[in-house]
């Protein structure tokens, strides 16, 4: 595959991923190595800047912009469930504000996904939603899921909507950063000296592996007992394209790539390791290592600073990115990007829909705001606007504002709306750096 594709996909610097329901209300952090973050938000980003920053949308828009001189973008909004509508509203306000200041036009179209879509249309991902997404420049998703749909049959579960969206848009590369922000270092459940300076990027394969492999289903064994089964399968081309994203991401970061597998047991992992090793020859500047997933889970807690970029398959990436996010203290701070080879990508917080605090003005909107910043940076190539939003978020933290998930002694506890207002004020004041 072309390196442009990999480069395109290889980028984010902030957030991470996971949608553990309820996590937003009860967890802490997002991170970047102190020495790199301290100077300015620009510094925070520089090492993640892609060689080719032009994501698909950029291409789609190029003609339009060239003709009109206008930067105008169609954004699909997928508020989803739980706290989704509250936090996406804050992010849209932030986008509107930055748009008016930076002369960027956004047109927003909202569509249904997850539980909200099930209730309204009987499907977790209505065809119309996919159509709207495909016709837009980028997708901003909030969160899906909730108790209400927890006992639905699998085709009627909100998660199905999310998986269908990833598959439907071919978003094969999921970038989940775990960066410990100096402001939030004490929000981590691990000791300061373990997490201070942690800056990891998990590159997770998102449209293959055991999540999508066939055969799958329920059956009966020879004893007549019911069985359930899934298939963990990767083709060479699937491994190669995600591995390239991993290598190119590492090139732009600390130059270290750790490929995580279970090659001591699984054939699928043996092929994975073989391909990644082979491709490694094309990236002599990247220090490649391999680690079994069980060991990786342990090392992430024991000595997380040994990691720079991690590349792994769908299910291992699901698990390890949740774990990595907790190093940072708050999953409520972590954005993520799911990027296709072409077409619109999906930008979303790592956290879930937190139905336990939905509608109570308690959710942390910062991961959603940072996801919007990632969208600007990586999908629309609007780096200045992204920098400014990130600076405004850091300034809100510097000023001591905290939602419940990242609260600590002496700080100012605020709700979703107030946190959004503070970020907007910082934007209006054109906060540059700290």
Residues marked as catalytic: 211, 262, 294, 318, 322
What is the closest distance, in whole angstroms, from the C-beta atom of residue 163 to ligand IPM in the complex? Answer: 6
What is the closest distance, in whole angstroms, from the C-beta atom of residue 100 to ligand IPM in the complex? Answer: 32
Regarding 368 and contact with ligand IPM (CB under 6 A), the answer is: no
Size of site (CB under 6 A) for ligand IPM:
7
CA distance 15 to 162: 18
User: How far is CA 160 from each of CA 77, 155, 170, rounded to the nearest angstrom?
Assistant: 18, 6, 15
Residue whose tokens read 């992992």: 269
Alpha helices in 103-213 (DSSP H): 115-121, 127-134, 158-168, 192-195
What is the closest distance, in whole angstroms, from the C-beta atom of residue 267 to ligand IPM in the complex? Answer: 23
Contacts 24+ apart (CB under 8 A), 35-41: 35/197, 36/199, 37/179, 37/181, 37/182, 37/394, 38/182, 38/434, 39/433, 40/391, 40/432, 40/433, 40/434, 41/387, 41/390, 41/391, 41/394, 41/433
Select 156 or 163, whichever has its Cβ closest to ligand IPM.
Answer: 163
Which region among 17-25, 127-135, 193-201, 402-410 touches ligand IPM (by CB under 6 A)? 17-25
What is the closest distance, in whole angstroms, from the C-beta atom of residue 314 to ligand IPM in the complex? Answer: 7
SS3 371: helix
Regarding 167 and contact with ligand IPM (CB under 6 A), the answer is: no
CA distance 402 to 184: 10
CA distance 77 to 347: 10
Question: Binds 176, which of Mg ion, ligand IPM, none (CB < 5 to 8 A, cut-off by type)?
Answer: none
Which region among 13-21, 57-65, 222-230, 388-396 touches ligand IPM (by CB under 6 A)? 13-21
Which region among 16-24, 274-282, 359-367, 426-434 touches ligand IPM (by CB under 6 A)? 16-24
Residue 147 Cα to chain centre, angstroms = 23
Select 321 or 364, whichever has its Cβ closest to Mg ion.
Answer: 321
Q: Nearest Cα to 189, choosing from 339, 329, 390?
A: 329
Q: Nearest Cα to 53, choosing from 336, 350, 252?
A: 252
**Which value, to the nearest 10 degrees, does the dihedral of the CA atoms of residues 60, 66, 67, 69 take?**
110
**Binder to ligand IPM among 86, 97, 238, 318 (CB under 6 A)?**
318
What is the closest distance, in whole angstroms, from the C-beta atom of residue 200 to Mg ion in the complex? Answer: 16
What is the closest distance, in whole angstroms, from the C-beta atom of residue 88 to ligand IPM in the complex? Answer: 17
CA distance 84 to 309: 29
SS3 109: strand
Window 298 to 357, contacts with Mg ion (CB under 5 A): 318
Site string for ligand IPM, 126-165 (x = CB under 6 A): ---------------------------------x--xx--
Regarding 18 and contact with ligand IPM (CB under 6 A), the answer is: yes
Which region among 12-20, 284-292, 296-304, 326-334 touches ligand IPM (by CB under 6 A)? 12-20
CA distance 91 to 110: 13
Select 207 or 249, whichever has its Cβ closest to ligand IPM.
Answer: 207
**Using CB under 6 A as the criterion, which residues of the chain lie in contact with ligand IPM when the complex forms?**
17-19, 159, 162-163, 318
**Using CB under 5 A as the criterion, which residues of the chain lie in contact with Mg ion when the complex forms?**
18, 318
């Amino acid at each position: 595959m072309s390196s442009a594709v990999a480069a395109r996909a290889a980028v984010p610097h902030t957030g991470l991923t996971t949608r553990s329901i309820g996590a937003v209300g009860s967890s802490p952090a997002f991170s970047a190595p102190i020495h790199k973050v301290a100077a300015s938000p620009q510094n925070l980003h520089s090492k993640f800047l892609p060689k080719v920053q032009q994501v698909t949308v950029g291409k789609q828009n190029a003609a339009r912009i060239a003709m009109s001189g206008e930067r105008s973008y169609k954004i699909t909004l997928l508020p989803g469930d739980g706290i989704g509508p509250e936090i996406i509203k804050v992010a849209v306000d932030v986008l509107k504000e930055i748009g008016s200041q930076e002369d960027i036009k956004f047109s927003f179209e909202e569509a249904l996904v997850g539980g909200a879509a099930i209730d309204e249309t009987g499907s977790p991902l209505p065809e119309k939603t996919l159509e709207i997404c495909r016709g837009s420049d980028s997708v901003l998703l909030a969160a899906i899921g909730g108790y209400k749909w927890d006992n639905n049959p699998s085709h009627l579960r909100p998660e199905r909507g999310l998986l269908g969206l990833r598959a439907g848009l071919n978003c094969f590369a999921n970038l989940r950063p775990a960066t410990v922000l100096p402001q939030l270092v004490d929000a981590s459940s691990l000791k300061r000296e373990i997490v201070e300076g942690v800056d990891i990027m998990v590159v997770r394969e998102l449209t293959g592996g055991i999540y999508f492999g066939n055969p799958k289903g329920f059956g009966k064994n020879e004893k007549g007992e019911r069985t359930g089964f899934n298939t963990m399968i990767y083709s060479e081309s699937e491994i190669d394209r995600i591995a390239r994203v991993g290598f190119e991401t590492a090139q732009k970061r600390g130059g270290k790539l750790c490929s995580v597998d279970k090659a001591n047991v699984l054939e699928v992992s043996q092929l994975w390791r073989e391909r990644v090793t082979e491709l490694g020859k094309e990236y002599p500047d990247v220090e490649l290592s391999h680690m079994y997933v069980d060991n990786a889970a342990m090392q992430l807690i024991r000595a997380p600073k040994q990691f720079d970029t991690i590349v792994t398959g769908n299910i291992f990436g699901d698990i390890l990115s949740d774990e990595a996010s907790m190093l940072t203290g708050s999953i409520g701070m972590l954005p993520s990007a799911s990027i296709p080879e072409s077409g619109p990508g999906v930008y979303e917080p790592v956290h879930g829909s937190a139905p336990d605090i939905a509608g109570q003005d308690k959710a942390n909107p910062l991961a959603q705001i940072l996801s919007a910043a990632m969208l600007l940076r990586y999908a629309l190539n609007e780096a200045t606007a992204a920098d400014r939003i990130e600076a405004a978020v850091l300034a809100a933290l510097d000023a001591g504002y905290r939602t419940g998930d990242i609260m600590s002694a002496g700080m100012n506890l605020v709700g979703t709306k107030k946190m959004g207002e503070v970020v907007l004020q910082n934007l209006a004041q054109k906060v540059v750096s700290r």
